[in-house]
Amino acid sequence: MKERGKRIILNIIGVYFLILGITAISLSLLKQMPTQLLYACYIGMILIGIGILTRKSFLILSQIYIIAIPSIVWGIDFFHWLIFKTPLWGMTDYFFLSSAITLDKFISLQHFYIFPLAIYTAKLIRKEKNAWKLSLIQLIIIFLAVKILSPPELNINCVFYSCIDINWILPYNLIWFLISFSIVGITALLLNYFLWPKKK
């Protein structure tokens, strides 16, 4: 791909994600629900947009590691609702329990394409090592911010209790970190293996 064409594509995708993230945050403020700004997907859209526009794949990858697997799980829950007309894990109930077409629902659809588009842009730029470190630091900050600033009933990022109906044996705070860190580690390993194989 020619450099000019690549630059145009990156700028378009970067601006789109940045506008989408800002729109999501603006809607949260208009609804007087400022703690929704702490949703990992909202933060991810903003940082991916910034990472694309500044050509920092380190920033893009750090967000991919956090949101990739949760986005896939969201998609499975969505299609279960779509096909069987019943909830699976309850993650996308809000999408089907109301027939109204809203901007919130449009923004939610980013779960389907943010992962592949972000990977595409990261590949166009270049590989950055150790982006997972930023992912882990960000998860710790998000956890603490949600615990301190957000009411438990909103359960932002599933911090207060499991979004899936499972009886955990270990304390849930520990479970949250084990699952979140595992998601980052597994995603980083898989992407490094399939997208950036070592040269023989």
Q: Where are the beta strands (DSSP E) in 14-148?
A: none
pLDDT score of 89: 85
Compare 154 and 199 and report the one with higher pLDDT. 154
Q: Specify whether the CB–CB gap between 74 and 94 falls below 8 A.
A: no
Query: Cα torsion for 96, 100, 103, 109, to the nearest 10°?
Result: 30
Q: What is the pLDDT of residues 31-87, one digit of tens each?
A: 888 888 899 999 999 999 999 999 998 999 999 999 999 999 999 999 999 999 888
Report how far Cα 143 is from the mean position of its chain's Cα atoms: 15
Q: What is the pLDDT of residues 19-36, one digit of tens each?
A: 999 999 999 999 888 888
pLDDT score of 10: 94
Query: Which of 67, 100, 93, 66 minimizes the C-alpha distance to 78?
Result: 93
| Full-model pTM | 0.91
Q: Specify whether the CB–CB gap between 124 and 6 falls below 8 A.
A: yes
The residue type at 25: I
What is the average per-residue pLDDT within 145-160? 93
Q: Specify whether the CB–CB gap between 14 and 121 falls below 8 A.
A: yes
